[in-house]
Amino acid sequence: MRDPGLQSLAQLENLCKQLYETTDTTTRLQAEKALVEFTNSPDCLSKCQLLLERGSSSYSQLLAATCLTKLVSRTNNPLPLEQRIDIRNYVLNYLATRPKLATFVTQALIQLYARITKLGWFDCQKDDYVFRNAITDVTRFLQDSVEYCIIGVTILSQLTNEINQADTTHPLTKHRKIASSFRDSSLFDIFTLSCNLLKQASGKNLNLNDESQHGLLMQLLKLTHSCLNFDFIGTSTDESSDDLCTVQIPTSWRSAFLDSSTLQLFFDLYHSIPPSFSPLVLSCLVQIASVRRSLFNNAERAKFLSHLVDGVKRILENPQSLSDPNNYHEFCRLLARLKSNYQLGELVKVENYPEVIRLIANFTVTSLQHWEFAPNSVHYLLSLWQRLAASVPYVKATEPHMLETYTPEVTKAYITSRLESVHIILRVLQLMNLTDSRLAQAGNEKLELAMLSFFEQFRKIYIGDQVQKSSKLYRRLSEVLGLSDETMVLSVFIGKIITNLKYWGRCEPITSKTLQLLNDLSIGYSSVRKLVKLSAVQFMLNNHTSEHFSFLGINNQSNLTDMRCRTTFYTALGRLLMVDLGEDEDQYEQFMLPLTAAFEAVAQMFSANSFNEQEAKRTLVGLVRDLRGIAFAFNAKTSFMMLFEWIYPSYMPILQRAIELWYHDPACTTPVLKLMAELVHNRSQRLQFDVSSPNGILLFRETSKMITMYGNRILTLGEVPKDQVYALKLKGISICFSMLKAALSGSYVNFGVFRLYGDDALDNALQTFIKLLLSIPHSDLLDYPKLSQSYYSLLEVLTQDHMNFIASLEPHVIMYILSSISEGLTALDTMVCTGCCSCLDHIVTYLFKQLSRSTKKRTTPLSQESDRFLHIMQQHPEMIQQMLSTVLNIIIFEDCRNQWSMSRPLLGLILLNEKYFSDLRNSIVNSQPPEKQQAMHLCFENLMEGIERNLLTKNRDRFTQNLSAFRREVNDSMKSSTYGVNSNDMMS
């Protein structure tokens, strides 16, 4: 510790008081700085214990808990195991002996316990996983008073959330392993405990006037919801996919959902507790209603659905609590899940279906008539009816669905409610006119963002090629505002865009959304042709770098990041210019004049002996952002060739020079690399050179030169701090990977020419790729999504078209690549997983083909690369075998989202490892209950029925069909089993 005055606990407590209570900014900042020093001091651990033992302030206790959490979370120089065990035990004892702690202190200590437990999940002491005894740890709390019981339940709830939530400081792969282990070993026990406590609480006729019992009930509901909301298979779904969510409950949980009392518990709770608690109960019911269909057989699913519909009917018959907006919202979600997870043919067979569909229809009509009550909930009801109506042609059940009666009523209610709301929505444009007239004096950011949101929705509904023109709308607009057609409305839009750019240039959210609106308007075929005729748009095309648009950052020398809006702006301008341009080169040159002048200015700076580096960066960075926007918009051959001939060869050396000078500054290199990646992207087949033109090869040479220059220089940075590694290094590498992939797959270069004529451009690019790849730890490849996607996309192209290069690599490089494919097979990102399957298929196919050739008597021997590659694979069979095991594991035991992709490499893996596959099959069969082993054996027999020992397309297709039937049969067999199978143990 640098300041000896901090030795005193009294001074520490005083600093905490200043940090959390003072209103003086300077005092608070000084206290924060001093406490940061304390956190980083060597004796922080002992001082934290003293603060907890002797501190008289809740703030000092909070500081101690927070500091300890940081200490146990650090990745470099972690605390020893014994010390972490001591801290865990100390925290539990502290909570058990001090029931009157401030709520925020209790929460911080529980967070500390959860963090220690999660990060130490795989730590052993004398063959004992010492951090896996969570339920045992909280037992003493659960057996005490209500206050202690709340602490125990909160501990379990926080632990579940902590393990479910990935953090940025630790590898994603480690998080997934911990989450999977916790799911398999502890989560069901916690869920069962929570449900049992809820049953006990509801059975004792809760005293609803007792706040402590209120607190216990709330924590129990939060814990139950956390269990049901757990990311069971590592898909990490976000809120945007709410309607499509399926809860992937493990097979081992079947008993809880086959027992109707579990479902009944939550419906009973809903009717017996205050409305303030009901939203959590309904949230739990939403998750329960979303349990994957495959958890049940047909009879079990019908029974479960019947209980679910009965509960919904009971709520609809007693709708008093639905007057609470939160209850209403969750109940609408529950209704939507009835159709997203069950078929109409199953619903109509429910005993009370006629009454329930009538109640739902009445509820929907009433909701639509009062749409202003909870407008964000109505779309759940609409999605329910849309799915019901769409299912009618597929219903085979004889029971009447009655939708022909109720769907017209719902449709009429919706249309009527929309028409009645029109007079409220046309006021936005009137309000805009008023607020715009006052922008010179003052403006409201939130109001402006709300207007932009309105414009975006209006654009989607009333403007564009696929939109039905509404005569009623424009008649009303004409009456109120004099806007009689789409062109006049577009004029209003453009006027608002220019006004925002003029007055809100320093407000990034408004500028960004305004430019996005302009960009969206420039996409439609018919609307963009109307736009270019507007005088305001012509003004923008002719004055795109004038002082009027200084908001773009052209005059801002200190802040390069503000310029990112320029790409969006120039993309929109580029689309508008393309429509206006045709083949008029004079107009194109006129548009590019300011950009030409900027390039010439930068060229002069570079040629001088000394120059203003900051000025050069500012001008170059803004310029390449503009060009990238234009390049993205020019997706037609004529316009793109104009751009290509303008930039090459005149200005390409300037881009190369910028990379050479400022490789260490991502604010400069990122825009340049992104521009180059855009220029080599054969979007819409725009890169079509004449037969006699060398431009395709010359463009690839420039690409190779930039990748090689950037790659070799970025590797000289040395050790980069973990929190800066993506920004300083990995982001640029990721863009280089994308650039190389676009160039290799663009079909405008014959790569055989390079080796034929001794040109090393291709070899340099590929060798640089390998150098960059080897500088990246495996964990980083999967932890950073953009890097994952660019790497695996590039690898897919390399394994498809440049397998000879892969085969020529050193053994350790080949093993690195194979390991990355193996880990990518289980990635959360479906695109990455699918790409890995494709890479593996190409490698396995190449290996199988070379192996087949080596066993035949041929006049032409294997190439040196092929022979070496075969030798490496024969020396390390475990890598291919592990991937065979992984793919089979995913297909049998997980929610396989890309079964077709998985099937393609699997056949080759089996044919290359027939004995290993036989052993693996026997292991899986023997792990089944005795009565299921014969059925599982038959599944494997059927899988290989009619399959020959080759990888011809016909044979592959047959295997893919067999695999689909195999997975269905295996799931049916396991579903009817009395207990689940631990796939982790089986496949280890």
Cα–Cα distance for residue pair 940/565, rounded to 1 Å: 56
Cα–Cα distance for residue pair 664/670, rounded to 1 Å: 10
CB atoms within 10 A of CB 285: 25
CB atoms within 10 A of CB 638: 14
- Verify cis geometry, omega within 30 degrees of 0, for the bond prior to 666: no
Amino acid letter, 800: Q
Q: How many residues are there in the chain?
A: 988
**Degrees to nearest 5, angle at CA 246 with 241 and 248:** 130
CB atoms within 10 A of CB 544: 19
Beta strands in 734-842 (DSSP E): none
How do residues 900-957 score in pLDDT, each as one tens digit? 888 889 999 999 999 999 999 998 888 888 888 888 889 899 989 998 999 899 999 9
Residue by residue, DSSP assigns 267-303 as HHHHHHS-TTTHHHHHHHHHHHHTB-GGGS-HHHHHH
Output the CA–CA distances (angstroms, integers) from residue 841 to 185, 848, 987, in the order listed: 35, 10, 21
To 10 degrees, what angle do helices 877-893 and 811-824 make? 10
Contacts for 522 with CB less than 8 Å, ≥ 6 apart: 528, 531, 571, 572, 575, 576, 633
Residue carrying structure tokens 């960059």: 772
406 CB-side CA count, 13 A: 23
Q: pTM for the complete prediction? A: 0.65
Predicted confidence at residue 100, as pLDDT, reads 83
3-state helix, strand, coil in the chain (%, to 5): 75, 0, 25
Q: What dihedral angle (degrees, nearest 10) is formed by the CA atoms of 724, 725, 726, 729? A: 120
Predicted confidence at residue 676, as pLDDT, reads 95
Question: Partners of 247 in the beta sheet?
Answer: 291
Contacts for 568 with CB less than 8 Å, ≥ 6 apart: 512, 515, 516, 518, 519, 629
Cα–Cα distance for residue pair 477/327, rounded to 1 Å: 38
8 Å CB contact between 736 and 748: no
| Residue 98: both structure tokens together | 């001090």
Question: Partners of 125 in the beta sheet?
Answer: 128
Nearest partner of 830 among 788, 775, 892, 882, judged by Cα: 788
To 10 degrees, what angle do helices 445-462 and 486-503 make? 150
| Residue 320: both structure tokens together | 């008093």
| Residue 203: both structure tokens together | 């059975």
Q: What is the DSSP letter of 858?
A: -
| Residue 118: both structure tokens together | 């999660």
How do residues 586-618 score in pLDDT, each as one tens digit? 878 888 888 888 888 888 888 887 778 888 888
Amino acid letter, 976: S
Nearest partner of 96 among 155, 130, 140, judged by Cα: 140
Domain positions in the chain: 245-401, 423-542, 544-775, 787-854+863-973
Longest dimension (CA), the chain: 92
3 state SS for 169-187: CCCHHHHHHHHHHHHHHHH
Cα–Cα distance for residue pair 110/530, rounded to 1 Å: 61
Predicted confidence at residue 266, as pLDDT, reads 92
Question: Partners of 291 in the beta sheet?
Answer: 247
Nearest partner of 628 among 683, 586, 580, judged by Cα: 683
Residue ranges of the chain with pLDDT lower than 50? 1-6, 237-241, 243, 546-561, 977-988
Nearest partner of 703 among 797, 790, 768, 607, judged by Cα: 768
| Residue 598: both structure tokens together | 């900027």
